[in-house]
Structure 1
Amino acid sequence: MKETVHKLKNLIKQGKAYISQSSDFELTQKLSPEKWSKKEILGHLIDSGINNLQRFTEIQTETKPYRIRKYKQDELVKANDYQHADLKEITNFWIAINNRICYVINQQTEDTLNYKIVFNSNEISDLRFLIKDYVSHLEHHLNQILK
């Protein structure tokens, strides 16, 4: 998992550098009314971080296999009103939650990485997959911000 943590830390650095050099105006522009702005994508990454940090820690103590609960991403972005949120505050929150996730990932052992999870589709995987998938998801959305 060291390579996964290394990748996540690099993504955090890239995101922080880009956002710190971007204007709030640039980050709040929408390609269309139904699409998220870059700022809302950052907010979605915060929500994803919150939900995944909870998953990564809950799996340690819950009955296995751990069942993944979906969350309503569009509704959370709207409820948190990331479009109008203070950019510095949400950037710092995104960085902080991902630093915490790096710490939690580093605490995992071969045993815990093999903990089984069940998705809503009843597909079975493990914590290792869930962690790598989280970082891939973050990278996908960060690339949308960096365009």
Structure 2
Amino acid sequence: METAFINTPLGVAKLQGDENGINSISILDGDEKLSDILPEVLEDAVYQLREYFEGRRTQFSLLLNPQGTDFQKRVWQALEQIPYGKTTSYMELSKTLGDPKAIRAVASANGKNPLWIVIPCHRVIGSDGSLTGYAGGIHRKKWLLEHESPVKQQSLF
């Protein structure tokens, strides 16, 4: 398993993967030493993440290998279908998966998403439009949604 630490506008991201694909991208709150040399198996992921943060990428094209239960993987696959710049609710996601009563299980699987940004769990919000639950912190979820918003809010000051 190869590992790299890169800087992003939201903090240091830790990427892990091997020849079978990327299995983990997470944001860290601590100060990690950035990688001087990128492992070859992670180069494309780093490149695509940089494009995303520069506003030049709206979809990822990476070999992914997240580890989880079959149910979690179904939820993560459904998350990948949420378009850039759009959001859905936990209720709508549950309905998409065929079980409107599975909201809590869907929310739990969403929270265990091992591929930050690439599998866009930040695009799932509460039914009332609230920014509920995000493993990376609500401030990061807000930033990501604003970054992807087709309407950019202008500052008055």
Q: How does the TM-score come out when normalised to structure 1? A: 0.24
Q: Considering Cα pairs closer than 8 Å and 6+ residues apart, tell me whether 1 or 2 has the greater RCO.
A: 1
- The structure in which a higher percent of residues are helix is 1
- The structure in which a higher percent of residues are strand is 2
